[in-house]
Chains A and B, each alone.
Chain A
Amino acid sequence: MGKILGSKRVLAAILIVIVAVSVTGLSTYQVMNNQRFAQQSYILGFILFQLGQPRIVSMAPHIDEILLGLGLEEYIVGCTNHDPYGLGYKLRDFYLPRLVELILSGKIYNGIDWWAPSVEDVVNLNPNIVLVDSGVPSQVSLYYSLISQGIFSFLVSQGTRISEIEVSILQIGSLFKRNSMAQALVDKMNTKINTIQGNVSNQTVVNVLMCVWIDFDQQTVLTCGNNTFLSEIIQKAGGLNIFYDSSLPWPELTMAVAAARNPSKIIILDHNAFLNPVETLINLGSSPLGGTPAYISGEIYFIQGQADNLLTRPGPRVAEGVELLANILFPALFNATFDYPHILNTDNYKGYLDSFILE
């Protein structure tokens, strides 16, 4: 590339080559060493976890509930909050009572960010096992960061199917050597789900529009497609998710398209009770959804707080979610009554459940 004139340039070129070779050599050595060291760290972390009392960090609410179901809540030192906008929510709406107790007494630190967790936050708690939510890519990065530090971590599956949820429960159970408890929990879930399915088996299937989010400006709804546990809950509860044929897991569709499928019940998930039910009903009336059988017969349900948790967490309580939904779909069958407007939240959801998976 042009002539290299003068000895200074040649000298500099030689210097660069020397630096290149030595730095690359150092790096290669370090990386390969790190690989070996990382494997050792991983094993070391696992051993440390086995030896002492567990200090668990749970990186998602559904994982909290799995731990609760396995009786491991005493060992949780940290969990996440799901409050990215800092709007504040009531602890009782978000966590089960036992966890609320532990948080309030300071035994559990619930300040870890679920969407973009800080490594320091997690490490500060001195955990010896971290259960990571594999559905959040920044958490997956966190996982790799943690195992290279010798902190044993486990990727919990996202739970796109109820069967996957049950597998997660069994996996976590075996980590903590509570296999029989895990199996018992899974059996409890299956019993409830099967019972409900049996009860509704000879009922006409109800068309359900499940709204994860409603946008009145854009006139769209966000709903669930085929490959989600939420859709499976609907199916097990004797309903038909009107968008079961969507291959996208969380499609956003216009209200007109949704209305065209004639849902008999419209269920709106609103954990933090952002929506004012009365206003929303009025708005729905003047939207394309106003002409649906659901709207005309007043079958619009607002699901908030703990009731929402039953339907949105891929954990053991999906079984309760099935039961809750069955109550909504077939009130006569289950002797369920609803005030108007139909709101299910932390205060009243228990009335619709025969038994509880997590006592």
Chain B
Amino acid sequence: MPCSTDVIIRVEDLVYTYNSVKALDGLTFEINRGEFVGLVGPNGSGKTTLLKCLSKLYTPQEGSIQLDGHNLRKLSQSEGAKIYAVVPSEFPMDMNISITDTVLLGRYPYLEGLWWEKERDEKIALNAMEKLNVSDFGNRKLGELSSGEKQRALIAKAIAQEAKVLLIDEPVAHLDLGYQMEIMEMLRSLSEDGVTILAAMHELNLAVKYCDKLIVLDKGKVVACGKPEDIVTQKLIEDVYGVKAIIQNIPNVGLVIIPLSTSNNGGVFDKKNSKERTTESNKTSARRGSVEA
């Protein structure tokens, strides 16, 4: 694991309010260059909101974000696009573009000239496609691919953007086990090449296995931040998710979280207290299902 201490993202006291609800309530954390960071937390904890603030889609009311030494507020959108790249969780896009064109669009912040991309742009895009194993699909349309392939194409696009930071929302949410592993392996190898990755995820076990660092959010606050083996405890899981779990550190495998039951000691899942959760999806079984790898 890379152990550079060069900070690439610094967030201080970030507050974002929407409809008089504080989605982000004084977030502070740091991410170092080359780290693969997992952003975890229950639904409604502010993961997506944070990613959108980091990519200038939302403007936070208070606090500051420093990206690669620049104040994010002062960066224009196109300057920002050269520093971070976003991989979305859903695909609200035209499914009729070819894969190559999709990846080439990642070069948009760098394009010169009037219309056409340069040879260099094309090389970068093709390289990205190779890295993500989608070169064979070049001429196919986005709509023809499986979800795993689509996801890889979109990550390739983010790579083609030559960004230093990859912001990913739910990289493996709709994928089956095989694809999940594949994507996480790819992201891992990308981070080893020097790309900083911040991925919002539900899949705790995958995050714990692959990420250098975890940032745990709950109700818009950072509850824990650090290496998985340091911060993942039974108490944390119970406080944040309301789930009783066993944490095992299996040699040669790593940290494993096995959920057992919901805590029903009048704690988090009392009807009174469940209103504190700002989310719509509040069934334990669903959550348990997504925690299971």
Direct contact of A and B (CB under 8 A): yes
Chain B residues in 8 Å Cβ range of A9: 112-114
Q: Of B77, B78, B113, which one neighbours A6 at CB under 8 angstroms?
A: B113
The answer to whether B76 and A6 touch across the interface, beta carbons within 8 angstroms, is no
The answer to whether A2 and B112 touch across the interface, beta carbons within 8 angstroms, is no
Q: Does A3 contact B (CB under 8 A)?
A: yes
Quote the shortest CB–CB distance from B119 to chain A (angstroms).
Answer: 15
B79 to A, closest residue via Cβ: A3
What DSSP secondary structure best describes chain B's contact surface?
Answer: loop
Alpha-carbon distance A6/B109, docked complex (angstroms): 12
What DSSP secondary structure best describes chain A's contact surface?
Answer: helix
Quote the shortest CB–CB distance from B117 to chain A (angstroms).
Answer: 12
The answer to whether B112 and A3 touch across the interface, beta carbons within 8 angstroms, is no
The answer to whether A8 and B113 touch across the interface, beta carbons within 8 angstroms, is yes
The answer to whether A12 and B114 touch across the interface, beta carbons within 8 angstroms, is yes
Q: Does B111 contact A (CB under 8 A)?
A: yes
Chain A residues in 8 Å Cβ range of B114: 6, 8-9, 12
Q: Does A282 contact B (CB under 8 A)?
A: no
The answer to whether A5 and B76 touch across the interface, beta carbons within 8 angstroms, is no
Interface residues of A in 1-27 (CB under 8 A from B): 2-3, 5-6, 8-9, 12
A2 to B, closest residue via Cβ: B78
Alpha-carbon distance A12/B76, docked complex (angstroms): 23
Chain B residues in 8 Å Cβ range of A6: 111-114
0/1 string, B104-133, CB within 8 A of A gives 1? 000000011110000000000000000000
Residues of B within 8 A of A (CB-CB), count: 7
0/1 string, A151-182, CB within 8 A of B gives 1? 00000000000000000000000000000000
Chain B residues in 8 Å Cβ range of A12: 114
Chain A residues in 8 Å Cβ range of B76: 3
Quote the shortest CB–CB distance from B181 to chain A (angstroms).
Answer: 39
Quote the shortest CB–CB distance from A248 to chain B (angstroms).
Answer: 50
Chain A residues in 8 Å Cβ range of B112: 5-6, 8-9
Chain B residues in 8 Å Cβ range of A2: 77-78
Interface residues of B in 73-116 (CB under 8 A from A): 76-78, 111-114
Quote the shortest CB–CB distance from B171 to chain A (angstroms).
Answer: 28
Chain B residues in 8 Å Cβ range of A5: 111-112
0/1 string, A174-213, CB within 8 A of B gives 1? 0000000000000000000000000000000000000000
B110 to A, closest residue via Cβ: A5
A5 to B, closest residue via Cβ: B112
Chain A residues in 8 Å Cβ range of B113: 6, 8-9
Alpha-carbon distance A3/B77, docked complex (angstroms): 10
Alpha-carbon distance A12/B115, docked complex (angstroms): 11
Quote the shortest CB–CB distance from B58 to chain A (angstroms).
Answer: 20
Alpha-carbon distance A2/B111, docked complex (angstroms): 12
B108 to A, closest residue via Cβ: A2
Alpha-carbon distance A8/B111, docked complex (angstroms): 11
Quote the shortest CB–CB distance from B105 to chain A (angstroms).
Answer: 14
Quote the shortest CB–CB distance from A11 to chain B (angstroms).
Answer: 8
Quote the shortest CB–CB distance from A39 to chain B (angstroms).
Answer: 45
Alpha-carbon distance A12/B114, docked complex (angstroms): 7
Quote the shortest CB–CB distance from B83 to chain A (angstroms).
Answer: 15
Alpha-carbon distance A339/B76, docked complex (angstroms): 92
Chain A residues in 8 Å Cβ range of B77: 2
What residues of chain B have their CB less than 8 Å away from a CB belonging to chain A?
A: 76-78, 111-114
Task: With A3-B76, A8-B112, A8-B113 given, name 14 new contacts (CB 8 A).
Answer: A2-B77, A2-B78, A3-B78, A5-B111, A5-B112, A6-B111, A6-B112, A6-B113, A6-B114, A8-B114, A9-B112, A9-B113, A9-B114, A12-B114
Lowest 8 A-B CB distances belong to which pairs?
A6-B112, A8-B113, A8-B114, A12-B114, A5-B112, A3-B78, A6-B113, A9-B114
What residues of chain A have their CB less than 8 Å away from a CB belonging to chain B?
A: 2-3, 5-6, 8-9, 12
